[in-house]
Amino acid sequence: MPSIPRTATPLRHGEEPEDPADKDALIFAKRLSVRRSELGLRVAFGVRLQPTYGLLGKDLDMFSEAGFDMSKIHLKRNAPVAQLYEDAIKYEGAVIAASGALINFSGKKTGRSPKDKRIVFEETSKDDVWWGAINIQMDEHTFEINRERAIDYLNTRDNVYVFDGFAGWDPKYRIKVRIIASRAYHALFMHNMLIRPTPKELEEFGTPDFTVYNAGQFPANRFTAGMTSQTSVEVNFKRREMVILGTEYAGEMKKGIFSVMHYLQPTKFGNLSLHSSANEGPDGDVSLFFGLSGTGKTTLSADPRRSLIGDDEHVWSDNGVFNIEGGCYAKCVGLDAQKEPEIFNAIRFGSILENVTYDYNTREPNYEDTGITENTRCAYPIEYIDNAKLPCMANSQPKNIIYLTCDAFGVLPPVSLLDEHQAQYWFLSGYTSKTPGTEDGIAEPTPTFSTCFGAPFIVLHPSRYATMLAKKMTASKTRCWLVNTGWTGGAFGTGKRCPLKYTRAIIDAIHNGSLAQANFSKTPVFNLAIPDQVEGVPADLLKPEAAWSDKNSYKETVNKLAGMFSKAFERYADECSPEVVAAGPQL
Ligand SMILES: Nc1ncnc2c1ncn2[C@@H]1O[C@H](COP(=O)(O)OP(=O)(O)O)[C@@H](O)[C@H]1O
Ligand SMILES: C=C(OP(=O)(O)O)C(=O)O
């Protein structure tokens, strides 16, 4: 292994070293993405090359063993943000927004492709995985073919970006993740979304626990066994690897790592992984906000009165709650500085705006424009939110759990209190809507039963997560609330989305304890306990029937939805106690 260049004979700019060992070192250093001029300077001044600028020796072997052609490609490991900006502008057509954020585009795919997600069927995980439409099987050989295809593609690129970081803030349970990608935008995205290592942690990084090969610019071969399109997002728990082909939507990487944690945390550590945001009040009370994409986890957890633990992915361990990620991925559609100031102000140098159009003259992003997609996004490091809690973990058990459901039928109350059986029933049902653009082919809010409020990301049978949740909630006497951030006064198309200011008032009332003191009455059919008043919220809004002008239509819609619930719950009924089954709507 060539050593770091020695400093006995200082080099002038552009000069080649005479000593063969130093020549080797120079070749090595070139691979480390250190420009010759920089090397010259560093050698001349006797500065040791920082491992943060390149790859350590044994890492380089790992790349060669994986099939990377080290004589051709130029690896940039944990490159500085400024360099990723420069490369994204130079090679990918990115632009800098007026606020300093980088605007970039993901091409054809602007949302996740759940139908193209695969899990490799192999002996170490096969008995744990919940196989079916969410976790579709792929055989080991096909994975090898696609992995090779991804590496072959990466070998054709001049620049290959590597980002090494962590998933999970609790050092006891975190994993080391390596991202290998062909686009600077993807490296910057994961720089923001993973936990950024300190220079010392990077130096000591060693072998990653999980590696993502992102060759999203290159398609999968549709004639490879099991491929149904040119997109493939595949996870192999035995190899501890993920391969992405045919989609450049950056959200695939972060949600891919989430699936990995949804498998590893329960099976290896006995922890519960959660598709939720989390924040902490001034007295240390922790709230979790569960919800499928676009239901308000990011929006509602960014609260000036509470510190943000994280906006999307967490783990509940015996010690408390920790965030999996180092950043947030907010929806930008309709983003408004007054309504969501924390998120608006986080969009600055280092943040990535994805698929957001902009004014060519002013470089101001146009958050109203859904011309590319409704799923416009911004990824920023969590510390860009002023009151982020760093490190992103809390050493206490959650006091409140809030299920965010985006009801496109407009019949669920804006807030209700669930008892322990309802809490399990609603978690397993996961009733909500898919919001436009988040998944391929979803053009309008579409009702869905997304178990665990995040069906696309779960790996084990839902009852395994639900049982752990029920145990933890009972042990820590956590209160559970159902909040409808979706429609009110009518279904999507006739009613309106619950105004954000009222949802915020509801969340405030949960946190200041006043809501728990309200008088509650039960709704027919769904049997939900709704408060008679919430400060700052019109009383009529709290009772869905009162908010609908057409009462018959309301009743019909309630019954229709109740029927859908009964049907959707059939698949879980055998795994639940009679009390949990009875906690659903009664027609
Ligand atoms: N009542 C409401 N509660 C929460 N979000 C709302 C509400 N009404 C509209 N929205 C919008 O819905 C979107 C929620 O997205 P986001 O918070 O990023 O969801 P998630 O983090 O769950 O994916 C935001 O664009 C937000 O402005
Ligand atoms: C990134 C996604 O989800 P969320 O909005 O929950 O972050 C997604 O579903 O692709």
Looking at the CA of residue 502, tell me the nearest atom of ligand 1.
Answer: 1
Measured in degrees and rounded to the nearest 5, phi and psi for residue 193 equal -90, -25
* CA of 312 relative to ligand 2 center, distance in Å: 8
* CA of 294 relative to ligand 2 center, distance in Å: 7
Residue whose CB lies within 8 A of the most ligand 2 atoms, among 116, 254, 405, for a mutation test? 254
* CA of 427 relative to ligand 1 center, distance in Å: 19
Residue 252 neighbours by CB under 8 Å, 6+ apart:
112, 113, 216, 233, 244
* CA of 568 relative to ligand 1 center, distance in Å: 25
What is the reported pLDDT for 18?
54
Would you please indicate which residues are annotated as catalytic (active-site) residues? 112, 255, 275, 293, 297-298, 312, 377
* CA of 294 relative to ligand 1 center, distance in Å: 5
Looking at the CA of residue 275, tell me the nearest atom of ligand 2.
Answer: 6
Topology at the third CATH level for domain 50-97+107-269 = Phosphoenolpyruvate Carboxykinase; domain 1 (3.40.449)
In this structure, what token pair is assigned to residue 220?
């999968």
Residue 251 CB–ligand 2 contact under 6 Å: yes
Q: Does domain 398-582 have CATH number 3.90.228.20?
A: yes
What is the reported pLDDT for 3?
34
Measured in degrees and rounded to the nearest 5, phi and psi for residue 229 equal -155, -170
CA-based Rg of the chain, rounded to a whole angstrom? 25
Q: What SS3 class is residue 211?
A: strand
Distance CA 179, CA 448 (A): 32
User: Nearest CA to 373 among 284, 275, 248?
Assistant: 248
Residue whose CB lies within 8 A of the most ligand 2 atoms, among 275, 438, 440, 458, for a mutation test? 438
CA-nearest residue for atom 3, ligand 2, is: 293
Residue 582 neighbours by CB under 8 Å, 6+ apart:
421
Peptide bond into 391 cis (omega under 30): yes
Residue 76 CB–ligand 2 contact under 6 Å: no
What is the reported pLDDT for 72?
84
Measured in degrees and rounded to the nearest 5, phi and psi for residue 358 equal -150, 160
> How many H helices and E strands in the chain?
17, 31
Helix (H) or strand (E) holding 77: strand 74-77
> What are the extents of the domains in the chain?
1-49, 50-97+107-269, 398-582
Q: Is 505 exposed, middle or buried (0-12, 13-18, 19+ CB in 10 A)?
A: middle
The pLDDT tens digits along the chain (587 residues) read: 333 333 333 334 444 545 544 454 444 444 444 333 333 333 333 333 333 345 656 677 888 888 998 888 889 999 999 999 999 999 999 999 999 999 999 999 999 999 999 999 999 999 999 999 999 999 999 999 999 999 999 999 999 999 999 999 999 999 999 999 999 999 999 999 999 999 999 999 999 999 999 999 999 999 999 898 999 999 999 999 999 999 999 999 999 999 999 999 999 999 999 999 999 999 999 999 999 999 999 999 999 999 999 999 999 999 999 999 999 999 999 999 999 999 999 999 999 999 999 999 999 999 999 999 999 999 999 999 999 999 999 999 999 999 999 999 999 999 999 999 999 999 999 999 998 988 888 888 999 999 999 999 999 999 999 999 999 999 999 999 999 999 999 999 999 999 999 999 999 999 999 999 999 999 999 999 999 999 999 999 999 999 999 999 999 999 999 999 999 999 999 999 999 999 999 98
Q: Which ligand is nearest to the CA of 296?
A: 1
Cα–Cα distances (Å) from 29 to 72, 75, 77, 308, in that order, read 14, 11, 12, 41
Q: Which ligand is nearest to the CA of 274?
A: 2
Global ipTM: 0.97
